[in-house]
Structure 1
Amino acid sequence: MSDNKTLNPVERAAILMMSLGEADAAEVLKHMGPKEVQRIGTAMAELANVQQDQVEVVMSDFLNTVGNQTGLGVGSDDYIRTVLTQALGADKAGSLIDRILEGGNTRGLDTLKWMEARQVADVIRYEHPQIQAIVVSYLDPDQAAQVMTYFEDKVRIDILMRISALESVQPAALKELNDILERQFTGAGSTKTTDMGGVKVVADIMNFLDTSTEATVMEAIREVDEDLSDEIQDLMFVFANLADVDDRAIQTIMREISTDILVVALKGADTALQEKIFKNMSKRAAELLRDDLEASPPVKLSDVENAQKEILTVARRLADEGEIMLGGGGEEMI
C-alpha cells in the first residue's frame, strides 16, 4: 500500500469504494467499464492496514460520514464479492472475482476480453474461420474492431460475414472452443448456450473500425451480398445520425468534447447537424464556435474523420453507461 503522498488514483478510488458501503459502491461500479472495475477491484483486494490519515487524504470532504472507519481491510473478500455481484450480476462478476481474489486466470472466452487486441488476433489467427467468428462476436465491439485490424481484408470480410449469420452457439460448440483455448490457457470452459453474432454485432464492430477500413470492408460485403450491406449500414450509428439524437443527449455529449475536436469534426458536417450543435449550446458559446469554424484553416479529411470518430466513441460510451440513448437506422442503441 502506498503512503499518503504517493497514493495513485486507483488506490484512492479503492479506499473510497471500501468506505462507501456495499450498496453505494455497487451503484458507482455500475457506471464503469470492465477494465476500470477490474483495476479498482484489484486495488480493493490489496488494501491492508489502511490508516485513518490515509482515509482523510482521500475523503477529506466526507469525514463526517467516514468517521473512524479505519479497518477497511477486514473481511474485504466478502465485501468485494458482494459489491461486484450487485454491480455486474452473478454471471459477469464470477470470472472477475476469480481473477481478483484468487489470482487465477479468467477461463475460456472470458480470458480474451482482458487481453490486448494483438494477442487475441495471434491466439485465433490459425483457427478455423468459424471459430474466429465466434471469438470476435463474443468480444466487446471496440475490442473486436481492434482485433480485426490485425487481419488482412479478405479474412476480415470472411469473419464479419460469418458473424452476421450467427444467431446462437450451442454447448457443444462452446466446449470445442474452450478445448482449443485450454491448449493455451488453464481451466475448463462453460458449456452454457449463448446468443451471439448477428447483423447488429457486425454493425457495432463496424462502428469502431477506422473510416478507411470500414469503407473497404463495407464495399467488399456489398459485392457479396448487397442486402446484407444495406442492413448493416442501417444498423450502424454514424456521425450524421447525431442530428436525430435528442437535445439532452447532445448536451451530455458536448460536455465531454473539447472545442478543438468539435471544430474539426463539424468541418465535415452538414448544416442541419451544425445547427443542432449550436442550438444545444449557450448563445455565447455557439457564437464563438461559429467564429472558430469560419476562421479555422482547411483540414485534412482524415483529421475530420478522426475527430468525428472521437465524438462517436464518447457518444457510444455514454449510451453504454445508460446516460443517453442513441438511435441508428431506427434501432435503439443502449
Structure 2
Amino acid sequence: MPRSRKAAMVVQLLLSDGGDLPLSQLPEAAQARLTRELGGLNIIDRETLKNVAIEFAAELSDVALTAPGSVEAALKSLDGRISAATVARLREEAAAQNGSDPWTIVLELSADEMVPITTAESPEVSAILLSKLPTSKAATLLGLVPGETARRIAFSMSKTSHIRADAIARIGTGLAQQYCGAALPAFSETAESRIGAILNSSPAATREQVLEGLLSEDPSFGASVRKAIFTFADIPARLAVPDVPKILRDIDSGDLVRALASAAGTGGPLAVAANHLLDNMSTRMADNLREEMGESGKIKLSDAEAAQNAVVTAIRAAADAGTIALIVEGDDD
C-alpha cells in the first residue's frame, strides 16, 4: 500500500474523531495529493486500519524535534524575541530570494527616472523610497527635485519609523507596477501552464474543442498550451522508463486496470501509452494487470477518461513532489 494512501487513512481517522488538522500548512501539491487519496478511499477493514495506525504511531514516536520549516514560520515562533528591524530585514531577504520583492525592480531605476515618483506620490512614499536607496543615490535624487519638494520629503522621513514591513512591500508593489512597467505576476505559473493543467483534467472532447479554438484565435498561445498539456497519450514521450515503477504504487489498482484496458482497446497513441507502462513494470505485475484487463469487460467512456486522468494526475503529483522528472520536449536526453 502506498504511503500516501496510508496517510489518507490516518487523516480520515483523525478527522472522524473530531481532530482539527492544519492541512493548509502543507505544500499545495501535498494538499491536492492527500485530497485525491481521501477521495479514493472506500471501506477499510478493521485489521488494515489497525496496522496503518500502529505503523503511524511507531514513526511518530521516533520524531524527536519539529522545526518551523520556513522563514515566515520561524519569525512567528520568535515573535517578541527578536527586534522588529531584524524581522523586517529577514522578510525582505526572503522575498528577494523568492524573486517576489518588488523593491528590487524599483531600485534599478536611475535617479532621473525616480524624479516623477517624488512629484506624483506623497512625501511619505518618497521618503520611504529615499530610505531604501543607497546613501549616494538618495542624495543624487534629492538634489534633482525642487527645493520645496525636497524639504517635504526630508520632513516626512520622521513619519516612516513605525511603518510595517508588509505596508512597505505593498508600496513597493504599487511603485513597480506604476513606474517600472512591471506587472508583478499574480500567479506563480504561466497562463499556458494554468490552462494546460485545467485541460489535462477535462474530457477529451472538451480539451480538443478548446485547444482547436485557441489555435484558431492565437496560434502561438495555442501551441504553447498544447505543449503544456499532458494527457495519457503523452506518457511515452514524457515519462522516462526508469520512472514507471515509481508512479505505479501511487495509482489505485482499479483506476490502473480501467485506464490500461480502455487505452489498449482504443488503439493508436493510447495503446502505445498503455504498452509503455506495461512493458516497463515487473513481469509479474504486468501479467496480473493483463489478466485483470481481460476480465474488465466493456468500460464506459466517462469511466475510461476518469481512470486515465487518475494515472496522469499521479504522474504529475510525483513530478511536483520531485520523485520523478518529466521529460520536456526538446531535451537532448
TM-score when normalising by structure 2: 0.45
Q: Report which of the two structures shows the higher radius of gyration computed on alpha carbons.
A: 2
Q: Which has the higher contact order (CA 8 A, sep 6+)?
A: 2
TM-score when normalising by structure 1: 0.45
